[in-house]
């Protein structure tokens, strides 16, 4: 789901960097207001590493293979820490494994980072509404994991569809993009189940990781 170098026009890449800079600045401002920043930095580092490694674990979902995205999980646990954590993970993915590119780093950070922040707000509001209802909390966790990945796939598909080079078969490319999106909806469901299991585990053994996420 990473946009590679050379696929997008220069003005789109520059716009991505501008928006990335603004959202990074806003996220850091939110982090500065967090009284629990010293406790939250280690878990942000841990999940940044998990995001980085997840790109290496591929799951075959015909007609393509996909990898875990973790937008929903990172947003739910990290809050605004998720955006700089994702940005760092994407940078090292581009430099070390050519997943994405440096020219499209801004665009890719928005594709993954905005869904993570949206997941943070959705999960925070949902926790207040579900209270101690175990079934409702599991459903909330599933929706958060599913929604984070589905939203990232939607952003990617829209950006690619709007920037198909003129020398390519537009109809064939849009069909491929649709197949990509459907495959990632399956991945989103897998991530939803994965998030239910992870949050259930953390609530048992390390509930403080789910508190004070900025």
Sorted by where each begins, the domain ranges of the chain are 10-210
Read off the pLDDT band of 7 (50, 70, 90).
confident
**Predicted pLDDT at 21:** 97
CATH number of 10-210: 1.10.1760.20
Q: Which residue has the higher pLDDT, 169 or 2?
A: 2
- pLDDT above 70 for 75: yes
Read off the pLDDT band of 207 (50, 70, 90).
confident
Least confident segment among 15-19, 81-85, 94-98, 191-195: 94-98
Residue 212 CA to residue 163 CA, distance in Å, equals 39
Read off the pLDDT band of 18 (50, 70, 90).
very high
Residue 146 CA to residue 185 CA, distance in Å, equals 8
Contact 83, 27 (CB under 8 A): yes
Kindly provide the b/e burial profile for residues 72-110, where b requires at least 16 CB atoms within 10 angstroms of the residue's own CB.
bbbbbbbbbbbbbbbbbbbbebbeeeebbbebbbbbbbb
Instruction: Tokens for 140, please give them.
Output: 């909330």
pLDDT > 90 in the chain, percent: 52
Q: Which residue has the higher pLDDT, 204 or 65?
A: 204
DSSP secondary structure string for all residues of 150-161? HHHHHHHHHHHH
Read off the pLDDT band of 212 (50, 70, 90).
low
pLDDT digits 0-9 by tens, 147-182: 999 999 999 999 998 988 767 777 888 888 888 888
Q: Which residue has the higher pLDDT, 20 or 166?
A: 20
Contact 129, 139 (CB under 8 A): no
- pLDDT above 60 for 195: yes
pLDDT digits 0-9 by tens, 80-137: 999 999 999 999 999 988 888 899 999 999 999 999 999 999 999 998 998 888 899 9
Q: What is the pTM (predicted TM-score) of this model?
A: 0.90
Three-state secondary structure call for residue 101 = coil
């Amino acid at each position: 789901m990473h946009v590679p170098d050379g696929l997008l026009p220069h003005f789109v890449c520059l716009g991505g960097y501008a928006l990335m800079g603004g959202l990074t600045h806003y996220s850091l401002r939110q982090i500065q207001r967090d009284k629990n920043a010293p406790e939250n930095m280690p878990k942000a580092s841990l999940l940044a590493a998990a995001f980085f490694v997840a790109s290496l674990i591929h799951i075959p979902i015909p007609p393509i293979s996909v990898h875990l995205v973790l937008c929903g999980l990172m947003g739910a646990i990290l809050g605004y820490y998720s955006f700089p954590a994702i940005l760092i993970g994407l940078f090292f993915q581009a430099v070390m494994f050519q997943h994405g590119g440096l020219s499209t780093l801004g665009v890719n950070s928005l594709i993954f980072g905005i869904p993570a922040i949206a997941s943070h707000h959705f999960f925070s509001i949902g926790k207040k509404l579900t209270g101690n209802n175990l079934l409702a909390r599991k459903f909330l966790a599933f929706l958060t994991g599913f929604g984070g990945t589905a939203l990232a796939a939607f952003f990617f598909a829209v950006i690619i569809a709007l920037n198909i080079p003129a020398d390519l078969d537009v109809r064939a490319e849009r069909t491929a993009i649709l197949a990509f999106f459907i495959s990632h909806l399956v991945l989103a469901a897998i991530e939803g189940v994965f998030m239910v299991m992870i949050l259930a585990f953390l609530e048992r053994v390390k509930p403080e990781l789910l508190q004070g996420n900025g």
